Amino acid sequence: MSKGLVTAEIIEELKKIVGEKYVYTDKDKLDPYSHDEVTDPHYMKEAQVVVLPATTEEVSKVVKLCYDNDIVMVPRAAGTGLAAGAVAIFGGVIISIERMNKIVEIDKANMVVVAEPGITTAALQDAVNKEGLFYAGDPCSGDSCFIGGNVATNAGGNRAVKYGVTRDQVMGIEVVTPSGEVVQLGGKFRKNATGYMLMHLYIGSEGTLGIITKVYLKLVALPKYEMDLLAVFDNLDAAIALTPKVMNAGITPVCVEFMDNASIKQVEVFLNEKLQHSDVGNYIIIQIAGDSEDVLDDQCMIIDELARENGALDVLVADKDKIWKSRKAYLEADRQRSLVFSMEDIVVPMTEIPGAVQQISRLAEKYDVAMHCAGHCGDGNVHIDILKDDRTQEEWEEMLPKIQKEIYALVYSLGGRLSGEHGIGFKRAQLMKEYMDPVEMELMRSVKKALDPKNIMNPGKVVDVNDEIPVQ
């Protein structure tokens, strides 16, 4: 299916809509948009033009121009994704929402914040915190990722155990459809039984159904107290097995994170600082929060007792800044060691994590490859970094699919899925075809065909509607 070309005339029309300054065609300006956080050259591709609209009206006009001329569009937020979801695989126009970065309103009475999609998660959190309120979404890339990208990918993050993922925070969205129409779905209300819940189709759709231009997010009261605990184990199975015991004790942590020993040692190198028990330790990081110091102290004592019964080498109240700096450095530490690596993002039932990590470690030995594990053991989400190291690109491309095949056969045998929070994008689209239930896949194709009949809104990502490839 041949799509329309981005001609000189189209570029001039784009400049009329957003201003000449915000239409990029030079290679030096296009290059940062040729990839997201996936640094494998296989997933890099330049668009023909990048456009930076500043308002919903401008987004609508840009989209309508592309729609009328059958031009492929790729919505893009901060580019912090890990699935090549915002890369112009088939060329066309990247529509970046980075200039749409304002908070529209903090409605304290209704406990809602209304924001444009280009504001960073951290900036939004800081703004509502100053009002004594709390936004629970917390991806590890919160300092740089955009709220619009969080919604488009249904970002998870560290606080999902207690508060849920991004989907659970969204009350409403404004969307520009693939034909350029604008629609608001949801709003400042918490219940809605008015027809199909179309809003939830767009959350997690990775820019394949439209462009999110405004978001209504749920707020809660800012917790008065919080505490971060670090439990160190020399046995990873015993470490991860602590999680259900804590939850069955009547404690609902904000988050329960884990890092295996190889990850801890790699972070040490990256940060150039010694971490506790890094010789043999595996980390479980538990954050608890509430409005009573006495309650938190009681919970801390229970967690300490449960951890030591499970074989913990040490349990301590962690230095908040240091422990989260270490956990959030996991990705960058591996990238420093190997610029090309594959982060797999599996999700399995919480109780299956120890078995999954055990078998994954055997795969590392089988293929003689470094594989580091960390993630959110409170919700079954495991990140596996497979490092290329000094292999040639040819050796890497031959080896990686074999490892992935074994990992995903294992994951599905345990009742899991391809991705817990990073999404499918282009990187995992082929894996979707291989592992997803055919009926479920066909339902997704039907949705895509209905909402994007020309297949020009971020094509080739998540699902393919047919075997034809859009080309420029």
CATH at 15: 3.30.43.10
CATH code where residue 234 lies: 3.30.70.2190
316 and 420 within one domain:
no
Q: What burial letters (b/e) apply to 422-444, b meaning 16+ CB within 10 Å?
A: bbbbbbbbebbeebbeeeeeeeb
281 and 244 within one domain:
yes
Distance of CA 108 to the CA centre of its chain: 28
E strand residue ranges, 370-465: 371-376, 381-387
Residues 47 and 72: beta-carbon distance below 8 Å: no
Whether 123 is covered by a domain: the verdict is yes
319 and 385 within one domain:
no
Residues 435 and 469: beta-carbon distance below 8 Å: no
**Coil, strand or helix: which one is 236?**
helix
Whether 313 is covered by a domain: the verdict is yes
Structural tokens at position 419: 């991705």
Task: Match 């919700």 to its residue by tokens.
Answer: 379
Reported as a single tens digit per residue, the pLDDT across 377-413 is: 999 999 999 999 999 999 999 999 999 999 999 999 9
Whether 50 is covered by a domain: the verdict is yes
Residues 6+ apart with CB under 8 A from 396: 340, 388
129 and 215 within one domain:
yes
Residue type, 358: Q
Residue after which a domain boundary falls, among 335, 365, 396: 335
Whether 412 is covered by a domain: the verdict is yes
Residue 3: per-residue pLDDT: 67
**Per-residue pLDDT of the chain in tens (472 residues, 90 and over written 9):** 346 789 999 999 999 999 999 999 999 999 999 999 998 888 999 999 999 999 999 999 999 999 999 999 999 999 999 999 999 999 999 999 999 999 999 999 999 999 999 999 999 999 999 999 999 999 989 899 999 999 999 999 889 999 999 999 999 999 999 999 999 999 999 999 999 999 999 999 999 999 999 999 999 999 999 999 999 999 989 999 999 999 999 999 999 999 999 999 999 999 999 999 999 999 999 999 999 999 999 999 999 999 999 999 999 999 999 999 999 999 999 999 999 999 999 999 998 998 999 999 999 999 999 999 999 999 999 999 999 999 999 999 999 999 999 999 999 999 999 999 999 999 999 999 899 999 999 999 999 999 999 999 999 999 988 754 444 4
Reported as a single tens digit per residue, the pLDDT across 71-117 is: 999 999 999 999 999 999 999 999 999 999 999 999 999 999 999 99
Structural tokens at position 167: 């989907």
Residue 304 burial class via C-beta count within 10 angstroms: exposed 0-12, middle 13-18, buried 19 and up: middle
Residue 182 burial class via C-beta count within 10 angstroms: exposed 0-12, middle 13-18, buried 19 and up: middle
Residue 302 burial class via C-beta count within 10 angstroms: exposed 0-12, middle 13-18, buried 19 and up: middle
Residue 469: per-residue pLDDT: 46
Residue 363 burial class via C-beta count within 10 angstroms: exposed 0-12, middle 13-18, buried 19 and up: middle
342 and 327 within one domain:
no
Task: Count how many domains the chain has.
Answer: 4
Whether 212 is covered by a domain: the verdict is yes
258 and 246 within one domain:
yes
The two counts, helices (H) then strands (E), for the chain are 17, 18
Report which of 464, 337, 459, 374 is spatially closest to residue 88, judged by C-alpha positions: 459
Report which of 330, 341, 354, 353 is spatially closest to residue 263, judged by C-alpha positions: 330
345 and 331 within one domain:
no
Distance CA 284, CA 238 (A): 10
Domain that holds residue 44: 8-98
244 and 286 within one domain:
yes
180 and 127 within one domain:
yes
DSSP 253: -
CATH code where residue 422 lies: 3.30.70.2740
Whether 322 is covered by a domain: the verdict is yes
Distance CA 425, CA 386 (A): 18
How many angstroms separate the first and last alpha carbons of the chain?
10
**Coil, strand or helix: which one is 396?**
helix
**Coil, strand or helix: which one is 175?**
strand
Residue after which a domain boundary falls, among 189, 221, 253: 221
Residues 212 and 174: beta-carbon distance below 8 Å: yes
| 23-24 and 49-51 strand pairing | antiparallel
Residue after which a domain boundary falls, among 53, 81, 98: 98
Whether 172 is covered by a domain: the verdict is yes
The model's pTM: 0.94
| 93-96 and 49-51 strand pairing | parallel
Residues 284 and 377: beta-carbon distance below 8 Å: yes
**Coil, strand or helix: which one is 402?**
helix
How much is the mean pLDDT over the chain?
95
**Coil, strand or helix: which one is 290?**
strand
257 and 325 within one domain:
yes
Residues 176 and 75: beta-carbon distance below 8 Å: no
Whether 1 is covered by a domain: the verdict is no
371 and 274 within one domain:
no
441 and 404 within one domain:
yes
